[in-house]
Amino acid sequence: MHCRRRYVGTYLIVVAFLVPNGFALVAPSIQIFASSEVKAGDKATVTCVLKTGSQPLVFLWLKDGKEVSSLPNVKVKSAEDFSFLVINPADVHSSGQYTCFHDLQS
């Protein structure tokens, strides 16, 4: 894969989580694992893992406050206690703040 000069730069992926105001028997605790440095053309992976807390939970991913479901190079895979966000390939449009959000499933 060739990377054009306009894609050269530093990419920052910030992952945060929001704790819901809903009722929970045990407050959820999440651990985040992310690629440390991502360059244009690289594959970036972020994992959001439920360490403790009540289930079932629903994981949602946001980019700059909007759902990532419509982004062509971003895929999300989730299970009961974890969720992966994969950006492949990372490019100038991938730069932004990514948020792993969890909520109690109703």
CA distance 47 to 34: 6
The half-sphere exposure of 86 on its side-chain side, counting CA atoms within 13 A, is 7
18's tokens: 């929001």
pLDDT of res. 31: 75
pLDDT, tens digit (0-9, with 9 covering 90-100), for 14-59: 544 455 555 445 666 777 778 778 889 999 999 988 887 766 678 8
Other beta carbons within 10 angstroms of residue 81's beta carbon come to 17
- Taking the whole predicted model, whether its pTM rises above 0.85 is answered as no
CA distance 84 to 86: 6
Other beta carbons within 10 angstroms of residue 98's beta carbon come to 22
Q: Domains for the chain: give ranges and CATH numbers.
A: 5-104 (2.60.40.10)
